[in-house]
Structure 1
């Protein structure tokens, strides 16, 4: 194993472990003691704990392994390999933190909502920044997208799954819990994006040069549901003519594209640029008609 690969592996271990510890701490020391709710497998586990009277950390472990199996059956071992580390490591840490919980905030639901979003979002951001997948809502959304709702984008499916979990919590618990859960998700996503991309724009332009451009184009159009532009370019060093793919998307979608490319072309060149705003037709873009008077 080369020195660079060894260094990358060590950094992966450090960042993923710290990310998992932050997330486990946020759940056991802030979310649970204050009766809060969130989306994903965490929220599902807490809901099932109320119904089945089984500790949510064990339910989380079972659901993680179930999602891992689902990923293997639907997408194959390559997709399952991406989430196997988190499917095993994080539930173990969650169980360990649950054995001796130390509440950070008590009797202040609003403050707990903010700090859970910050700490959990930061932990999740560290994990995703290293190219790993939590194996939760994202994987479930991929299965739904592929088998049931292929016409919807991944972001829409993920939002729909988390919304369904939050609505269910509002029915089983009370409306206030669901309303706080929405605030939690907003702070969580903001913190996650800040860790991954800093405080810059939330729309990005991704530029890709790859020998597998046909597969990447098909993935962006059919899976991510974004438009693309193609340019013929000539390398100054190699003097070779290649195709450059350009797309405007969200940071989360850019990470999904990057992870896909890394599996099919390790020599690909990808750069990401912040975009202040986009005027035109497209998911999340501002209509150019609305800006005419500006």
Structure 2
């Protein structure tokens, strides 16, 4: 058992290091040489570098440290342990790779944006697939949701934060660079989804039986913005009445729900079913009123 845990720890560390390397490669050798910008803490650090004349990696370190301290103060030790490893490893890899001069593509901003998005999406997807976080705008969004805007979904807060970074970049580097950033963001999101969940279905139905159904339901509704249906069921083996949660969500939200359940009820029973399509009101749903009735 001990040897198995050591092997898993070693393989996970190598896997995360490769993810960090690919992500840092895209930033150091594609994004920066072409004067492009991205969203998140990386993008903010690059913008601040222009005005502070300090290497953006050091700025990234500083901002991440502040986020870690705030996370520890407001959310506790359990939350900080999820991001502290990547918060140290990623900027370290960024800094180390700056010692090597290399340009993967230049003199073509559109091509550079596409290449950057592909590599960046692969690297980020690999890291998120393991359940780790960079401690960036996603963490800030969760902090704001818990302490300031509990009625606003985390995904919407993240969208506003990333939008603010791109808006700041528009003033710092021009509107064209901001437009390329938006293109990169869209491609990166798609690539990241494919790395995390493959090329299959993009919607899942979750059927969850848990004694913590109220807590899980609130998480799905308030933090993920997904609808929840509760059913009364009766187990044939135990003859006990229980509550079953049903919700349709995206693949990355399914992973977030899995992590939340794992932290709050290790005895939960969860079925994950691929969904071909959904008609209704919701993210990635098809608006039934717009369908052709002929």
The answer for the alignment partner of 2:48 in structure 1 is 48
Instruction: Report the RMSD for the aligned CA atoms in angstroms.
Output: 2.1
CA distance in 2, matches of 1:14, 1:244: 39
Residue aligning to 1:36: 36
1:203–1:275 CA contact under 8 A, matched in 2: yes
Separation in structure 1 between the aligned mates of residue 227 and residue 28 of structure 2, nearest angstrom? 41
Measure how far apart 1:167 and its partner are.
1.0
Summarize deviations over 1:38-68 as a string: whole Å, max 9, x none: 1001000000001101000111111111111
Matched, 1:217 2:226: no
Output aligned runs, 1:258-273, within 5 Å.
258-273=258-273
Q: 1:5 to 1:232 in 2, by over 3 A?
A: farther
**1:8/1:236 CA distance change after superposition, 3 Å:** farther
Aligned partners of 1:155 and 1:253 also within 8 Å: no
Q: For structure 1, which runs of at least 5 residues remain unmatched after alignment?
A: none
Q: Output the CA distance in 1 between the equivalents of 2:208 and 2:29.
A: 42
What does 1:198-277 align with in structure 2 at a 5 Å threshold? 198-233=198-233, 242-277=242-277
Task: Give the whole-Å Cα distance in 2 for the aligned partners of 1:7 and 1:207.
Answer: 33
1:65 paired to 2:65: yes
Residues 99 and 290 of structure 1: CA distance in aligned 2, closer, same or farther (over 3 Å): same
Aligned to 1:180: 180
- How far apart in 2 are the matches of 1:34 and 1:210? 51
Going from structure 1 to structure 2, the CA distance change for 1:237 and 1:120 (only over 3 Å counts) comes to farther
Spell out, residue by residue over 1:112-142, the C-alpha distance to the aligned partner (whole angstroms, 9 max, x if none): 1111111111111111111111211110111
Aligned residues between the structures: 294
- TM-score of the aligned structures, taking structure 2 as reference length: 0.92
CA contact (8 A) 2:203 2:251 kept: yes
- Where 1:230 maps in the other structure, the secondary structure is strand
Unaligned runs of 5+ in 2: none
Aligned position for 2:89: 89
Q: Show CA shifts across 1:225-268 (max 9, x none).
A: 22112234556777765433221122232222222222222343
Matches of 2:217 and 2:24, distance apart in 1: 37
CA distance in 1, matches of 2:130, 2:238: 30
Contact between 2:152 and 2:222, CA under 8 Å: does it hold in 1? no
> Partner of 1:166 in structure 2?
166
1:193 and 1:237 mapped to 2: Cα distance? 39
Q: Alpha-carbon deviation of 1:270? A: 3.4
